[in-house]
Structure 1
Amino acid sequence: MGYVIFKNATLIDGNGGDPRYNVSVLVENNIIREVSECGISLQSADVIDCKGNTLMPGLVDGHMHLGLIEIEVVDIVRRNPIGLIAARMFRNMRELLEQGYTSARDTGGADAGFRLAMENGEAVGPRLRVSGPCIAQSGGHGDNRGPSEYRPYYEGNMGFRSRLADGVPEVLKACRETLREGADFIKIMACGGCASPTGGPNACQYTFDEMKAAVDVADNAGTYVAAHCYSDKSISRCTEAGILTIEHGNLLERPTAKLMAQKGTYLVPTQITYEMVLEHAKDSLSKFMYDKFIAVNDRGYEAIKIAMEEGVKIGGGSDLTGRNTKYASGAIAYQAKAQGAMNAIVSFTRVNAEIMGMSEQIGTIEEGKLADIILVNDDPLKNIDLFKNPKDNILVIMQDGKLYKKMI
């Protein structure tokens, strides 16, 4: 058996309570066995002196895409050979773990093979839950054809992918095929998007009956549906249909937030992706797409505040593309601009673990849970921006009881 003791730590356990000081945590193999303020002594244990720095649960990215390997996401699968896409997706997996994400949810593109590669020890990265290809309507977000094209749609088999389905029978079949291929949940495109060649965030896509068809398939399989949404109308329709997670949600209005809280629907904001595009990648986008990013950015912070005030459960994600993925750990800092530091930490630990269906195993530092633990420099409640520099500020990364990084 292997034992590790973290001592002299300030503990933020992921539940949202006040930090605890001078805490010791005992890890046996891959399980947290004891959390104590009285000290822990075990002769055979390896000891990590935290020196007053902050011990936290491993971060959980609630919305990311391993396959978004370029800033310009349209036609990735047509521009790049399959092997190159796969290599870059595995690089993105490793990079996420290096930034403190011990678990993550791929919301469109990665197939079950990436999850299995990590579980079998053949790849390094966060433990994964994957949706496979997104389910999208013709001409909707995920359909990469421009308005002047008449070619058949090409789904591809690697990278960021969508599967077109129109009408209830096609949606039923597409969702069933996706689950047959090993997806953990279903993702539908219920609204236009910033990266679409046509349409925009104010659009509403899929009828109520089509959405309900996806929910019925997921419910029969014991899982759930996530929906790409910006417009308030699409968020409301998805919530009424029984969709569990609203991805992005930037144009959320208060009455719909009340409905989400009543139904137990989660909001998963992705504010960092707009900030990074506006800061680093505006020259890589058409004016049409750039203007859409501008339109949703500030409104997204307002949506988070509305959701908080109405009691909506809030997760969080990075949703970054291309080389912007190296900034993913900063997602928690941008979300804190609306939520505050502690609430953002809870979103990126406990709440995202709930969304992944793993709240009994990860997301908090508690006895009996898996040893997914990070040690961060100093106090993130006073300086949440430290997550923007994970190389220097995340001192220890432990995933499933294994030390992936140790700088102390």
Structure 2
Amino acid sequence: MLELDLPLAQHIVDRAMAIVPYNINVMDAQGMIIGSGDPQRLHTRHEGAQLVLANRRMVEVDEQAAACLRGVRPGVNVPLVQGDQLIGVLGITGEPAIVRPYAELLRMAAEMLVEQRQLHAERDWQRHQLEAWLRHLFDPQVSLASLQVEADRLQLSLHWPSQVCVLELNATHQVAAGQARILTALRSISDCLCAPLSATEVLWCRPYSARRDDRAWLAQADEREWGVARLLVSDPVSNLDELRQASQALQALKAFSAEQLPSQRLLELSEHRLATLLHSQRNSWLLKGWLQPLQQLQAQDRTGVLMTTLSVWCRHDGQAQVCAQALGIHRNTLRYRLERIAELSGIELARFDQRLQLSLGLGLLTPQG
């Protein structure tokens, strides 16, 4: 049940007194005046309101009756009801015969304002519960069973296949306003769920569509000045378990892309799946051993020429002529550099598995400053 508070009570008074030329009081469920056109009457007890609360009916007070009651002036006092609950009293000051016609109309208007406030409160509560549920997708401490129970309680309508996205926002002084605009826009889209993950991140769960053009969406976001820096997109998922895994995979993609692809705005998990997986394991003993040959090369390549050559060579799938042209060097120079790379790293470049090790490892190395 919604309780009358001072801001709501005064809002009712201000709206009513903009219509009728009489003072209006709003009393709470204890008969205290918490909203009034006469500030001196605020926070005083109204015995007429207590009579209304005790009898659950209209109470009219004339001059004679007012003289016998504390804190009361002539007028009409009517109960305010929300649902089946008596939540307060509305009083209109004046000769009862004159103000009586206004009383019922003002009560109806006041109860509509209370109901509107209640609906807003329920919507806000529902939104906060939904946002908390979405954030729990990223929390490995929250079990999948708990997520399912909470989804059922909130009556979430999850549509499959779905797709998880994370929007990273530009960290400017207007980031809060941009985030608010994005959330408002996304909430208006049918079958979409969204929540702020942090001051500069928004989680967006949307129905999957193979025809969706995310580059065009980013262009529209720029036109609307939403301040979207990057968009990270998961694979389509078909159930809650996959939704949880996709959400956590985006966190790994975010960490990988921030280090290795800082200028790329659109990042699709499907294009960086293996690199993301390896990056998420970058502190493991196995992967450290895998990266050791490259780190040896990097440590001894003071000018960076060999690392650049290796990167271009891997990018062109080991095609010597194309690689030499891309680097602007002679094939003999390229051959010498590759021999030097093999010598310093201990990798046999003729072996496919070891070339693959170098190629994937390049995307996991921490750049040297």
TM bracket, shorter-chain basis: under 0.3
Task: Say which structure is richer in strand.
Answer: 1
Bigger relative contact order (CA 8 A; separation at least 6) = 1
Task: Say which structure is richer in helix.
Answer: 2
TM, length-normalised to structure 1 = 0.19
TM, length-normalised to structure 2 = 0.21
